[in-house]
Amino acid sequence: MNEITIISTKQFNGKNINILGFQDNFALTRNQIGVMLGYSDPQKAIENIHARNKGRLDQLSTTLKMRAIDGKSRDVTVYCFKGLLEICRHSNQPNANSVIDFCWEVIDEIRRTGKYEVTKSLEQLTLEVIQSLNERIAEQQRLIAETQRLSEERGKRIDNAIVFYKEKKNALALVEGLSKENTIKIPGISVTRVLSNLGVMDNSGKKPKPLGRTTLYAFLRERGWLTKGKRTHATQSAIDHGYMVDDIYVGKNKYTEEGVNGAPTPRFLVKGIIKICECYDVKCTADDVIAALEQVQLEDGNDINKQE
């Protein structure tokens, strides 16, 4: 018989195995043999065994062209009983003997009945093979889609991590800047030297000259930063804007070495220095102000918060 038919369907380890009739012999497909031997990728595993033993297995197998639902022709390889034994011999799978025993039982049944009992036509077999191939294609497409989804999720997590890092970095920079502007207090005795290091000059005369403390204080009184009177204090407006503070001087009596408190003394904050520079058309940052103050410290050894 030259037509492929399903002569019987048997159970092997809980799986339905279609026994094929082809050219007066029974046969199994490459995928069926791989399933029975317990391979995770049945088709590929048997392909590899065939490739390693091509000279022998080419004589014991037949490849048929079958057209799938998508209109494409696909190769389906079937093996006769001898071919199946050869594959089992080379597979080294633990259940190879069980597969051989199963096939001998099929042969015994055929010998006892003396004929093939045809249960399915070639057309039905083709449809089953096509269905099996389509299931494999669908599984591969599912795996590809899952891989793409995981890749997209990973990309989103990386993007979110980058955004979080940038936001955290900006927040830390902002906190650091605010800390510098609100904690470093510059005494009035040093402020004009700091401003000079920043490039602020007195342009009221014929020639530019370093800004003097008297001129600066007069300018700040006009702008409402300093009080007018015998004792100079920072105004509430200057304090509220974060330009200046009033510190109470704590020192020692030179005769008794006891601690004494002095009168409130105005001191300039970094934000105030930046604002003064803006009034004199000089642009600077908090880091520029701190660098200018450090230069003054290096020149005369003053502490940042040294009292006037």
The helix (H) or strand (E) run that includes residue 39 is none
Q: What is the pLDDT of residue 119?
A: 47
The helix (H) or strand (E) run that includes residue 304 is none
Q: Where are the domains of the chain?
A: 5-123, 185-300
Q: What is the pLDDT of residue 175?
A: 46
Q: What is the pLDDT of residues 256-276, one digit of tens each?
A: 555 555 667 888 898 999 999
pLDDT surpassing 60 at residue 114: no
**Banded model confidence at residue 64, pLDDT cuts 50, 70, 90:** confident
Q: Please give the full DSSP string across 224-289, using - where no structure is assigned.
A: TSB--SSS--B-HHHHHTTSEEEEEEEEE-TTT--EEEEEEEEEEEHHHHHHHHHHTT----HHHH
**In degrees, to the nearest 5, what angle opens at C-alpha 86 toward C-alphas 113 and 67?**
75
Among 34, 31, 26, residue whose Cα is nearest residue 5: 26
| Stretch 44-49: mean pLDDT | 92
Token output for 216 = 């600066």
**In degrees, to the nearest 5, what angle opens at C-alpha 116 toward C-alphas 113 and 117?**
90
| Stretch 69-77: mean pLDDT | 72
Would you give the DSSP letter of residue 206? S
Q: What is the pLDDT of residue 178?
A: 47
Token output for 32 = 């069926």
Q: What is the pLDDT of residues 192-224, one digit of tens each?
A: 899 999 999 988 878 888 888 888 888 899 999
User: Higher model confidence: residue 133 or residue 54?
Assistant: 54
Of 134-148, 167-181, 183-197, give the lowest mean pLDDT range: 167-181
Q: What is the pLDDT of residue 46?
A: 92
